[in-house]
Structure 1
Amino acid sequence: MIPPEAGFRLIHQSQCYTAEDFSRLQEPLRHCLQALGLKPGMTLVCRFRDRFLYAQLLFLLPRMGCLFLPLDPDLPSAISGKLLNAAGEHILLQDGAALRNPDHKCHGSVAEQPLESGAPCLLLATSGTTGRPRLVELTGDALQHSARAACDFLQLEQGDRWLACLPLHHIGGLSVLLRCAWRGATAVLADGFSPRHVLQQLYEYRITHVSLVPTMLYRLLEQKTRPPDSLRVVLLGGASSSQSLVDEAMQKDWPVCPSYGLTEAASQVATVYPPKPGWQEGEAGMPLPHMELEVQEQTGAIRIRGPSVACCYRQETGARFPLLDADDWLDTGDVGWLDDASGLHVVGRRDDMLISGGENIHPAIVEGVFSECPGVGQVAVTALNDACWGDALVLLYQGTALPETVKRWARERLRAGFLPRYMLPVDELPRNALGKLLRSELKQIARERLQSVKA
């Protein structure tokens, strides 16, 4: 794991902690964990909302020879139970009180038994947008390579300040802490995401970098406040970004850098940097210096290789199964293409591909068109089985536009095969904590909404 550099600072609730402060705070934590029965080789699973405690555990547990598995506290019990089975021997904490307020006294120091840099130190659940979250094993080496490459690529320096407002059970959130620790920069740890609070912190701490998902950026733009001139990078990822969102943000001086990454790669794979006028939807930029990338000509499958790429998943039984082929390439499950400059353009998940009237249609392409429709906000495209079409496309959308108006608008912009048969307004779309569409739930929503319309 990455030890915090001397210049590292973490600011939380107006308190500034140095690397030395962190080390001092971790001693009583270590005693508490040992008293709870945590031993080298075991995994500590945490399901609570204390972000400062998560930050301490991220750096402490590898020094104790233990693995860290932060889980989304809102994860359904049926899913979290399967992930716990995959974690192997573990201790589960659903409340941080036992660590914040120990009921025993700490005596002396506890000997360190740190993990080897090539050993797994972090277990993370994949986003589970298909309904099948799995655990990814990440080693200290993988996290270090990823952090170093990101710092170099995004020109993070000592004295810079990165606002951490993404969930800390996700690699995007944890990576902010790891990058700042590696480079000796300052991480400003927000207690979750509130548009007004985030804007306040951007100005108060003269933030230079911030990581966001599209939903967060959308809500910040609703505040109609321009960013501080200190802000150099808005690293935008976690879900696909619409053309209209990025265009609006750039027009309002938000330095947006759309990126493509995945848990299995310990975060970033490719990024548009520096911020680029004329960005095109799906454009993910150049691969980071530690990453090899290829797109298969026939299928459009995106494959990656590099020192930050995970080697295996953990199954529910605790058994491991490999991710890489014989030449160490990982098939990401995404499809896309490379431009003439070798920049990556991502279309979406291969599993999301629909076949309607004999045409291969990716929902993201259709969604990108409808995101430009007046009176339409968030959109999602799914399909229902149809004897004639195979997949009958269905548009689910949030907004004030009437379905008939949306259909007339779309007829002028989409050829027949790409035109959804049903346009259904909804109150909200299912998303995970990072704002990714839960596509596994869309069909059922479409069925229920269609039945209510026909009733």
Structure 2
Amino acid sequence: MPPGPALFSAVRHALSGEGPAVLPLSPDLPRTAIEAAIAALRPTHVVTPDGVRHEPGGQATNATVIIATSGSTGTPKGVELTAEALTSSARASLDRVGAQAGQRWLCCLPPAHISGMQVLVRSLLSGSEPIIHERFSAAAVAASGADHVSLVPTQLRRLLDIGADVSAFRTILLGGAAAPPGLLAEAAAAGARVVTTYGMSETSGGCVYDGAPLDNVDLEIGDDGRVRIAGPVLFSGYRLRDDHPVDGRWFVTSDLGVIEGGRLSVLGRADDVINTGGQKVVAGVVAKVLAGHPGVRDVAVVGRPDPEWGEIVVAVVVGTATLEDLRIFAKERLPAYAAPRVVEIVPSIPALPNGKPDLAALRRAPAHAASTSSPGEPPGTN
């Protein structure tokens, strides 16, 4: 079903215990992806604009909402969330941003993803009707009249590019991907109150706001450098699967991070470490550094196979900075082997529906992008 009143009503009934659990699937998905999700997650019924059909072999659940992950490994996983986890997260979010009863939230993110779903839950707890947009339109968002909105960085960028009055929102929750420092500075200069968030489906959405955990959420960094999270916002398991990355009460994420002064900084994903000539490079760290260059509006960093070095560091950039610019800039702040060897200039960073960069697409060298590369040099040299 498309986003709208029917889904909001289903979520309301699920949270109250009066209705069945909800597994939202976007109608924009390819038919094969929808069929794969249904086959893997085995709902008892499927609701479409044509009505409700019973699914043979479907299995009931104790969850309230199930969020299907992007399925980058080929088979989607269903993150099972209870009403307690969802409402604990939403209530802590409302408290942190100071949202008042009756204030309206805008849902312009897919409710099949946790970021969009939580807008619906916050609206229910606020006693307000959400404003739901089936598609993102910067002009429509600017004219929505909403008090609060949840966006990904690309959407905020588009609002700023059309000159939208971003100060009209009491809060802009920004998540899904790391925000370039220049974007945050530009938004602040335009009067926006932006709150950056970190979280995932397994934590009922954002559970760390501006580096500080929400109430009743605990954070620590494991011996392996991974971010670990505990609290009532955690999921109860993966649908019909035995794997559950929990160590005691801690959910072990796939993200590397550090906690300094009580605030979390996420360095990047543990599986996004680039091995170039035997040297380990955290892609997220390089991207964060390059984002500080004045000629970079947006950037993503990935590793690509290379016959000589195993992998090379590639920066995909929206902006005007050249390879030489970024290599000099990076070497002043990072080890020389972490400087990009290839820079590709693109009009926008390809993104998944949840707003995160499409790393699988970025790892494939596009034929249309303007690209420059540096000559080979031993790792660690300048």
Question: TM-score normalised by the shorter chain: which range applies?
Answer: 0.7 to 0.9
Give distance in 2, aligned partners of 1:343 and 1:132. Answer: 34
Please point out which of 239, 242, 246 is paired with 1:325.
246
Equivalent position of 2:5 in the other structure: 52
Structure 2 residue 19 is the aligned partner of structure 1 residue 80: no
Contact 2:166 2:187 in 1 (8 A): no
Equivalent residues in 2 for 1:45-444 (5 A)?
A: 48-61=1-14, 63=17, 65-93=19-47, 95-98=48-51, 119-128=62-71, 133-201=76-144, 205=145, 207-229=146-168, 231-272=169-210, 285-296=211-222, 298-314=223-239, 319-325=240-246, 327-340=248-261, 342-400=262-320, 403=323, 407=327, 414-444=334-364
- State the Cα distance separating 1:174 from its structure 2 match: 1.5
- 1:356, 1:391 within 8 Å by CA — same for their partners in 2? yes
Q: CA deviation at 1:405?
A: 5.5
Q: Which amino acid aligns with 2:104?
A: R
- Single out whichever of 158-167 and 285-294 deviates more from structure 2: 158-167
Structure-2 residue corresponding to 1:279: none
Structure 2 Cα separation of the partners of residues 74 and 451 of structure 1: 30
Q: Which residue of 1 aligns with 2:379?
A: none
Pick the structure with greater CA Rg. Answer: 1
After superposition, the C-alpha distances for 1:87-123 in whole angstroms (9 at most, x for unaligned) are 2243334x42548xxxxxxxxxxxxxxx9xx931211
Distance (Å, rounded) in 2 between the aligned partners of 1:141 and 1:161: 22
Partner-residue secondary structure (3-state), 1:320:
coil
* Offset, 1:452: 9.3
Q: Retained in 1: the 8 A contact 2:323–2:341?
A: no
Contact in 2 for aligned 1:311/1:322 (Cα 8 Å):
no
Contact 2:139 2:164 in 1 (8 A): no
Distance 1:233 1:130, change over 3 A: farther
Distance 1:403 1:301, change over 3 A: closer
- 2:182 & 2:105 partners in 1: Cα distance? 26
Measured after TM superposition, the shift of residue 197 of structure 1 is 1.1
- What one-letter code is carried by the residue in structure 2 that aligns with 1:292? D
Distance 2:167 2:326 in 1: 37
> Which consecutive residues of structure 1, in runs of 5 or more, have no partner in the other structure?
1-47, 100-114, 273-284
Which sits farther off after the overlay, 352-361 or 374-383?
A: 374-383
Q: Secondary structure at the match of 2:312?
A: strand
Q: After alignment, is 391-400 or 232-241 more displaced?
A: 391-400
SS of 2:64's equivalent?
A: strand
Letter in 2 for 1:148: R
**How big is the shift at 1:386?**
3.1
Question: Is contact 2:258-2:264 (8 Å) kept?
Answer: yes
Q: How many residues align?
A: 365
**What is the one-letter code of the residue matched to 1:247?**
A
2: distance between equivalents of 1:176 and 1:183?
A: 10
Q: Distance in 2 between matches of 1:65 and 1:185?
A: 20
Identity %: 33
Amino acid at match of 1:311: S
**One-letter amino acid of the structure 1 residue matched with residue 153 of structure 2:** P
Task: Work out which structure has the larger RCO, using CA pairs closer than 8 Å and 6 or more positions apart in sequence.
Answer: 1
TM-score by length of 1: 0.72
Q: Distance in 2 between matches of 1:292 and 1:200?
A: 38
TM-score by length of 2: 0.85
Contact 1:123 1:137 in 2 (8 A): yes
CA distance in 2 between partners of 1:384 and 1:326 (Å) = 33
Partner residue in 2 for 1:3: none
Tell me by how many angstroms 1:401 deviates: 5.0
- Please give the alpha-carbon distance, in whole angstroms, between the structure 2 residues aligned to 1:336 and 1:403: 28
Tell me: CA distance 1:224–1:427, structure 2 relative to 1, closer, same or farther (3 Å). Answer: closer
Q: CA RMSD in A?
A: 2.9
Query: For residue 197 of structure 1, what is the amino acid of its counterpart?
Result: A
**What are the Cα deviations for residues 375-423 of structure 1, in whole angstroms up to 9, with x where unaligned?**
5443222222335433211222234555556556656665421111122
